[in-house]
Homo-oligomer: A and B are copies of this chain.
Amino acid sequence: MAPEGPQLDLQHVGIDGIRKPLHVERAGRSVALTASFAVTVDLPAGRKGSDLSRNAEVLAEVVDRTATHPVPSLESACLEIARELLVRHAYARRSTVRARAAYFLERGLSTDRTSLEDFELFAEAEASRGADGAVAVARRIGAEAVGMTACPCAMETVREELLREYPALGDPSLRTLPIITHNQRNRTRLTFELPPGADVEADAMIAAIEAAQSVPTYAILKRGDEARAVLLAHRAPKFVEDVLRDLLASVPLRFAHLPDATGVRAETRSEESIHKYDVVAEHTTTLGALRASTA
């Protein structure tokens, strides 16, 4: 073994990439998620190693048990794991648990043609042990939806070009005619850092994201639906900047029950049809700051 160097403090030691079935029951609906977990604790100076088998044990106990005793949410499972980690690792002052899982909701452009669309859920919990032994916790919950954006900038320059080529397009009745542009797959994520006691519905977060994209996307679109989705997208052309700002601006109204101290993070990525690279935007703030900006 290497000669003992100074036993430095380490902020995170743990395991990553452990997959588990997680049973969630919420609002009368029962869902089995295939979740992937990362679990770490800090390691104080002077302690040689973290007992990593305890991490896998806690995961097995908390998550495997949900087969018979479902949890109310992915983030509540994370929180329970984070708390239990501090019990098992007596030396640790902080534990972090992250999880993600595919999640499905019924969706359709027409109410008579719906199917299960896939989204992604994220959750994170941290537990910190204070000097007095009291444990403080933090929770983050995130949701991601794939939708469509249509570019407003290309639309304007194309319009100028088309007006030159097709003078009849200048007819006043055609003023609102939707004009071609590039449109693309957009992936947007919203994350809340929840103060103690606050709670939020993942479904409401997904609805907020879908409303901020040019149009949500659907697995089943018959010919008429497809035209309608294209029209909706071109009547709400959006830069990634617009997706993010519209999403952030909607948060105070849609999540009126959450306190000002709620952390808010929004990220978006458009897999540009007109470029080989992606266009991205990101902003991190608090609900209080958003309320002040959008008041």
Chain A: interface residue total (CB-CB under 8 A)? 117
A230 B154 Cβ-Cβ under 8 A: yes
B64 A115 Cβ-Cβ under 8 A: yes
A185 B185 Cβ-Cβ under 8 A: yes
**Known A-B contacts A53-B221, A166-B174, A180-B178; A278 and B16 likewise in contact (beta carbons under 8 Å):** yes
Q: How far is the CA of A274 from the CA of B178 in the complex (A)?
A: 17
Q: What's the least CB distance linking A236 to chain B, in Å?
A: 6
**Any B CB within 8 A of the CB of A84:** no
As for how many copies of this chain the complex holds, the number is 4
B10 A182 Cβ-Cβ under 8 A: no
A8's partner among B7, B183, B220, B245 (CB-CB below 8 A) is B245
Interface of A is mostly: mixed
A241 B166 Cβ-Cβ under 8 A: no
Q: How far is the CA of A152 from the CA of B226 in the complex (A)?
A: 12
- Collect the chain B residues with CB atoms within 8 Å of residue A280's CB: 12-16, 38, 40
Of A74-82, A127-135, A156-164, A195-203, the one touching chain B: A156-164
- Collect the chain B residues with CB atoms within 8 Å of residue A271's CB: 185, 271
A157 B6 Cβ-Cβ under 8 A: no
- Collect the chain B residues with CB atoms within 8 Å of residue A240's CB: 13
A20 B104 Cβ-Cβ under 8 A: yes
- Collect the chain B residues with CB atoms within 8 Å of residue A189's CB: none
**Known A-B contacts A32-B32, A280-B15; A157 and B59 likewise in contact (beta carbons under 8 Å):** no
Write 11 A-B pairs (CB below 8 A) sorted by A numbering. A2-B236, A18-B118, A53-B221, A53-B226, A166-B173, A168-B173, A180-B231, A180-B234, A182-B230, A217-B272, A230-B274
Q: Which 4 A-B pairs have the closest CB atoms?
A: A32-B32, A60-B115, A157-B227, A19-B118
